Amino acid sequence: MNGFLLLVPFFLIRFGLMARLDHASLARAAHFAPMRGGERAAYLVYQLANAGILLYPLFLTVPAELSWPTAAGAALYLGGLALCSASVICFARPDARGLNRNGVYRYSRNPMYLAYFLCFAGMAVLTRSWGLLALVLVFQVCAHRVILAEERECLARFGEPYRQYIEQVRRYL
């Protein structure tokens, strides 16, 4: 099986499900906070890694074999898809102020980014690709800088409720 096919369920969840639940949430999810200093470079590398993650699987295959890497990759991949689904459902239903603190957002301030990491890491394991895994790791390191900018914007926008949310809920896990 071509590795790119693993992205089809991801796209259906990330874009299709989100649009079906709340079309306006697509615009909110596509918004990136203003970047400062080194965050701009991290954002550029983040976008390049993202492009690599989306294109590189076109040249990869998933071996049709039962093995521990297949099982581990499938677990990561399916766990990422499940978390992505839960994140999208909650993201499409923020509170009256526009803040997401329901569902999986009670346990992680960034469950969608965590879902992406799990899904993409699972794809790297399923395709046995060290190159894709390297792209995923670069993506995640740079995503952390993007997240810091988003948190700064959320603090400015939501104020004290977001500050309390930060104190109660971890950034990732």
pLDDT of 98 higher than 90: no
pLDDT of 153 higher than 90: yes
Tell me the C-alpha distance between 166 and 141, whole Å: 20
**Can you tell me the mean pLDDT for 55-79?**
96
- Which residue would you say has higher pLDDT here, 98 or 4? 4
Quick check: 160 and 172 in contact, CB under 8 A?
Answer: no
**57-92: burial string, b at 16+ Cβ within 10 Å, e else:** beebebeeeeeeebeebeebbebbbebbbbbbbbbb
- DSSP secondary structure string for all residues of 106-154: GT-S-HHHHHHHHHHHHHHHHTT-HHHHHHHHHHHHHHHHHHHHHHHHH
pLDDT tens string 24-44 = 999 999 999 999 999 999 999
Per-residue confidence (pLDDT) for residue 51, from 0 to 100:
98
Q: How much of the chain exceeds pLDDT 70, in percent?
A: 100
Per-residue confidence (pLDDT) for residue 137, from 0 to 100:
98
CA dihedral (150, 155, 156, 158) positive or negative: positive
Per-residue confidence (pLDDT) for residue 3, from 0 to 100:
97
pLDDT of 12 higher than 90: yes
